[in-house]
């Protein structure tokens, strides 16, 4: 190696060591985040907010020390030899550029403001009292705009795109807006047609409870294991909203239980298991490096939805699942027949609440939020006007008017914890899931037959190779291209919805 | 303020801000430590070890930046005005001197080696296989000796004293050795006398189980609440060994349940509640500053033992507790009579296991470890010779020979996780608890009458004022002096033991 080459290699090695430390700080924050949602007593919230703020500040400090820029500049020659190292270096430089754009006091101020707002929001939502949280949300929006403006300047993006980039690198509003416009047009005809088609078929037979929670919990655990989750590296707990947290070595999924309805818990666990399998399948050789992380939130959502929506709501899987449910909960065999489960779990219904929405109308909820958050960040919509704008938007998209803000703009945690630019990931993920499933089916004979045996392993193997093990080497579009032969193509999602919800 | 004064005030303010961040890092590590013991799946251990190492390294880095020394030097004038600030600055300087003595790579190497050794120890103890963990313990001892030597030089202490200082500032082997020698002599006559006295009284009637775990758990929670623990700022969970972790705002206590015997869980919860009340009672005005922390591990242990041993095993409290136990578990009223509970829970019995030991023989277990760990750190005892030395020592102190190393030198986590110098705290704490209880009784009329009503609030109020709210302002001896009028006086502990275990 030339002296310059060995200097470059040393610089890259120092950068790798530094990003390892940054990733470990992120792991600590992730575990504390899980704890905050699943375990923490209410009185711990303020201290936890401070812990998040300090960890964020330290991570930011590690990224912005002057030595980092020098090392990242010098590391180019060493990293060029290996495509993973080259991709890693590019991601390091991107992360460093984002961090350098933000003053440390803004990073900590945001962490504190977001935690404070989220705490008040929990009570405000319960009380359907937007006014109670409004001043805190105004602070969060103000700081987020500061953040977005600073990032925009550094990255040469619009402020809103700079926020989106934080969740799914390389995807901006100009990529998403036409896709969402097309979906809005599709929905305008598909939704009435699906409703009409559904009305002509027999209604589902509700499955009467109660379903004891220990039985639900045991079943959820068994299904997650069956789907491939290794509980030597995972936990299943409860939280107000299901999520997947933790780290690749120790992934934490949660759900919530309703004695009257086991479906919510079961489907949420299948969803979170999809996320968890992605984390577990990330390339160990690149652990704690940017290139070893998940490829972004849209890709992450594709992995949860491909399990929950694409695989586990098929007739084939429901045919296997029915007898499992019957064994767990008893009652009449007819309740658990796949046709009845399909009518229950593939039911189209306009509603107020995003997380309860069916596959077809879910994107409408996302489109509403996508448009509103652009206006909030762009300064075209004041926080005070959010409730009205929300209700107008929902009326236009789904013909519904919320009775109060708990059914409207208070329902999601995202903005109240500073998460702007995240919502599009849900629908990009749904679309990518359909496209990945179509490709997996083409390339994997017997995939559906295996689902009929409750066996996700052929699907998991395909995802393991084409998605999980890729880490962040490829961005959203390149990952899809490598896995499916094309960039995001909404036609696959529309074809899936037509086949499932419209008359053939 | 003079310019020099305002410079000094600014330096002190910077130091306060820095120690706040260090404390918050410690909080994150504390929550991760709780999680590792109470929640983490086995597969998360390696990642968790790395998280501890990085957090420890970052905390060390914050303490050792060159700016810290300058600020601590300049802050003297500003801190001198207020006794709390002066004490805080002295503690800051002490912490900084300890950190400066240790190279960063040693700090992280120790965190990694300790975590790795602890993981292997868990299996080695199960298998009673000392050889399996021996090489890892050798590494831990080697690194601990490096640490002790470095600290010794910087602090002007012996290596072992430098380790003890990390758990209970200002207390060294020369303080403890004569106390322990005196106790050994006391025990040589008191133990046979207590055994003889016990043999002459009726044996306890065992309370037959099973005791359903949910009922035990509900009772434990109720007792902790009754003792003053606010579950808006606390949790009660399970772990292999009971402990108190978390942070003052969010304290986490654990216990373990045995269906055949509720006493272990109940007494452990009372013990951990004592620790938890101390954390909850620390002075909020000094939160996240050295002076706002607990005054050391011996003081901490005094707070758990004053609740568990001094208060809750009195005839008065047992008289209240009996009917509570009867209501929780049913069966014959006679089982729960205070005289029977006293015979069950104040039983002297020579045994192998420290954590199962009675009050009288417990110090013998500590004395054994105190002597062995001095020899290990001093280089007079090789790790390979530890099992033999352990068995010889136990034979000399209690006349017992362990059947295997699980009953012997593998039983405690402490050395395997790098905790050398901690053991004396247990017995110093037991002695301090007796001394504090005697003072609290003298100063608080009605304290025992309240215990007879299951009411710890008079004791808690006294401890709150004289111990909890003092934070770390005073060291072990000065705290005792301020609270009881004298430094540590073993006579109070001996008097307590005589009254409880020997013929009057």
- Asked if the Cβ–Cβ distance from B35 to A31 is below 8 Å, we say yes
Secondary structure class of A154 (helix, strand, coil): helix
* Interatomic CA distance for residues A152 and A187, integer angstroms: 33
* Interatomic CA distance for residues B500 and B446, integer angstroms: 20
Closest among B271, B307, B296 to B422, alpha carbons compared: B296
- Asked if the Cβ–Cβ distance from B41 to A235 is below 8 Å, we say yes
- Asked if the Cβ–Cβ distance from A50 to B24 is below 8 Å, we say yes
pTM of the model: 0.94
Nearest-neighbour CA in chain B from A231: distance (Å): 7
* pLDDT of the residue at A111: 87
The two tokens of residue B307 are 């609740």
* Strand order, beta sheet including B250-255: B234-238, B250-255, B244-247
* pLDDT of the residue at A36: 95
- Asked if the Cβ–Cβ distance from A247 to B44 is below 8 Å, we say yes
- Asked if the Cβ–Cβ distance from B24 to A51 is below 8 Å, we say yes
Q: pLDDT by residue (tens digit) across A456-469?
A: 999 999 999 999 99
Q: Which of B184, B196, B217, B272 is catalytic?
A: B272
Cα A12 to the center of its chain, rounded Å:
31
The two tokens of residue A356 are 């309860």
Q: Which residue among B25, B47, B57 sits closest to A247, beta carbon to beta carbon? A: B47
* pLDDT of the residue at A40: 97
Q: Which residues contact B32 (CB under 8 A, 6 or more apart)?
A: A28, A31, A32, B48, B51, B52, B55
The two tokens of residue A480 are 């899809």
Nearest-neighbour CA in chain B from A95: distance (Å): 20
* Interatomic CA distance for residues B376 and B391, integer angstroms: 15
**Which chain A residue has its CA at the smallest distance from B250's CA?**
A44
- Asked if the Cβ–Cβ distance from B232 to A35 is below 8 Å, we say no
- Asked if the Cβ–Cβ distance from B50 to A21 is below 8 Å, we say no
**Which chain B residue has its CA at the smallest distance from A20's CA?**
B54
Q: Which residues contact B40 (CB under 8 A, 6 or more apart)?
A: A250, B48
- Asked if the Cβ–Cβ distance from A250 to B48 is below 8 Å, we say yes
* Cα Rg, chain B, nearest whole Å: 23
The answer to whether residues A477 and A487 touch, using CB atoms and an 8 Å cutoff, is yes
Q: Where are the beta strands (DSSP E) in B230-381?
A: 234-238, 244-247, 250-255
* pLDDT of the residue at A5: 84
Mutate to test the interface with B, among A17, A18, A19, A21 (most CBs of B within 10 A): A21
Nearest-neighbour CA in chain A from B501: distance (Å): 41
- Asked if the Cβ–Cβ distance from A235 to B39 is below 8 Å, we say yes
- Asked if the Cβ–Cβ distance from A232 to B43 is below 8 Å, we say yes
Q: Which residues contact A455 (CB under 8 A, 6 or more apart)?
A: none
**Which chain A residue has its CA at the smallest distance from B22's CA?**
A54
Chain A and chain B share a number of CB contacts under 8 A equal to: 96
* Interatomic CA distance for residues B416 and B433, integer angstroms: 28
The two tokens of residue A309 are 């929506």
Q: Which residue among A41, A54, A234 sits closest to B231, beta carbon to beta carbon? A: A41
Nearest-neighbour CA in chain B from A396: distance (Å): 43
The packing angle between helices A3-38 and A83-101, to 10°, is 60
Residues of A in contact with B32 (CB under 8 A): 28, 31-32
* pLDDT of the residue at B124: 97
**What is the number of helices (H) and of strands (E) in chain B?**
21, 3
Residues of A in contact with B230 (CB under 8 A): 43
* pLDDT of the residue at A435: 98
> Considering only CB atoms, which residues of chain A are within 8 Å of chain B?
21, 24-25, 27-28, 31-32, 35, 39-44, 46-48, 50-51, 54-55, 57-58, 230-235, 246-250
Bridge partners (DSSP) listed for residue A253: A236, A244
Which residue is listed with tokens 């939130």? A297
Nearest-neighbour CA in chain A from B394: distance (Å): 38
Q: Could you give the residue numbers annotated as active site of A?
A: 272
Residues lower than pLDDT 70 in chain B: 1
Phi/psi-derived region of residue A388, left when phi > 0, alpha when psi is between -120 and 50, beta in every other case: alpha
Residues lower than pLDDT 70 in chain A: 1
Residues of A in contact with B28 (CB under 8 A): 28, 32, 51, 54-55
**Which chain B residue has its CA at the smallest distance from A50's CA?**
B24
* Interatomic CA distance for residues A296 and A279, integer angstroms: 12
Q: Which residue among B47, B230, B248 sits closest to A249, beta carbon to beta carbon? A: B47
**Which chain B residue has its CA at the smallest distance from A49's CA?**
B24
Nearest-neighbour CA in chain B from A336: distance (Å): 33
Mutate to test the interface with B, among A48, A58, A62 (most CBs of B within 10 A): A58
The answer to whether residues B254 and B236 touch, using CB atoms and an 8 Å cutoff, is yes
Nearest-neighbour CA in chain B from A45: distance (Å): 9
Three-state SS string over A185-229 comes to HHHHHHHHHHHHHHHHCCCCCCCCCCCCHHHHHHHHHHHHHHCCC
> Considering only CB atoms, which residues of chain B are within 8 Å of chain A?
21, 24-25, 27-29, 31-32, 35, 39-44, 46-48, 50-51, 54-55, 57-58, 230-235, 247-250
Bridge partners (DSSP) listed for residue A238: A255
Largest CA distance in chain B: 76
Mutate to test the interface with A, among B17, B33, B58 (most CBs of A within 10 A): B58
Which residue is listed with tokens 């027949």? A337
Q: Which residues contact B313 (CB under 8 A, 6 or more apart)?
A: B342, B345, B346
Q: Which residue among B32, B41, B248 sits closest to A28, beta carbon to beta carbon? A: B32
């Amino acid at each position: 190696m030339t002296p310059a080459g060995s200097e470059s290699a040393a610089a890259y090695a120092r950068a790798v060591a530094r990003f390892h430390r940054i990733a470990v700080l992120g792991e600590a924050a992730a575990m504390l985040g899980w704890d905050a949602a699943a375990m923490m007593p209410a009185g711990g919230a303020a201290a936890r907010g401070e812990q998040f703020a300090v960890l964020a500040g330290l991570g930011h400090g590690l990224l912005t020390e002057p030595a980092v820029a020098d090392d990242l500049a010098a590391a180019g020659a060493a990293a060029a030899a290996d495509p993973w190292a080259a991709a890693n270096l590019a991601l390091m430089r991107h992360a460093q550029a984002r961090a350098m754009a933000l003053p440390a006091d803004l990073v900590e101020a945001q962490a504190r403001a977001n935690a404070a707002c989220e705490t008040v929001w929990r009570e405000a939502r319960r009380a359907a009292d937007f006014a109670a949280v409004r001043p805190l949300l105004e602070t969060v929006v103000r700081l987020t705009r500061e953040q977005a403006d600073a990032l925009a300047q550094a990255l040469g993006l619009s402020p809103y795109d700079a926020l989106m980039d934080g969740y799914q690198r390389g995807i901006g509003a100009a990529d998403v807006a036409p896709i969402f416009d097309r979906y809005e047009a599709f929905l305008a005809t598909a939704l009435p047609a699906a409703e009409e088609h559904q009305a002509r078929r027999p209604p589902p037979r509700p499955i009467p409870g109660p379903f004891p929670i220990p039985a639900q919990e045991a079943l959820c655990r068994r299904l997650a294991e069956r789907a491939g989750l290794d509980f030597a590296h995972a936990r299943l707990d409860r939280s107000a909203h299901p999520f997947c947290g933790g780290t690749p070595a120790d992934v934490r999924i949660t759900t919530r239980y309703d004695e009257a309805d086991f479906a919510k818990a079961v489907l949420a666990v299948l969803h979170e298991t999809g996320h968890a399998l992605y984390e577990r399948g990330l390339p160990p050789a690149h652990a704690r490096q940017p290139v070893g992380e998940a490829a972004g939130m849209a890709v992450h959502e594709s992995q949860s939805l491909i399990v929950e929506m694409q695989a586990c709501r098929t007739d084939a899987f429901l045919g296997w699942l029915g007898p499992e449910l019957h064994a767990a909960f008893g009652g009449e065999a007819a309740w658990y027949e796949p046709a009845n489960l399909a009518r229950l779990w593939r039911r189209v219904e306009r509603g107020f609440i995003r997380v309860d929405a069916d596959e077809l109308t879910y994107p409408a909820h996302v489109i509403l939020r996508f448009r509103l958050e652009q206006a909030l960040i762009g300064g075209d919509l004041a926080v005070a006007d959010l409730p009205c704008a929300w209700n107008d938007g929902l009326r236009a998209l789904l013909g519904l008017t919320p009775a109060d803000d708990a059914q409207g703009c208070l329902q999601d945690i995202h903005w109240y914890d500073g998460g702007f630019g995240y919502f599009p990931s849900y629908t990009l993920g749904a679309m990518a899931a359909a496209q990945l499933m179509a490709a997996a089916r083409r390339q994997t004979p017997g995939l559906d037959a295996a689902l009929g045996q409750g066996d996700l392993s052929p699907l998991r193997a395909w995802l393991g190779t084409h998605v999980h093990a890729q880490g962040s080497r490829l961005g959203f579009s390149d990952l899809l291209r490598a896995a499916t032969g094309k960039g995001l193509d909404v036609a696959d999602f529309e074809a899936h919805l037509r086949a499932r919800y419209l008359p053939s």
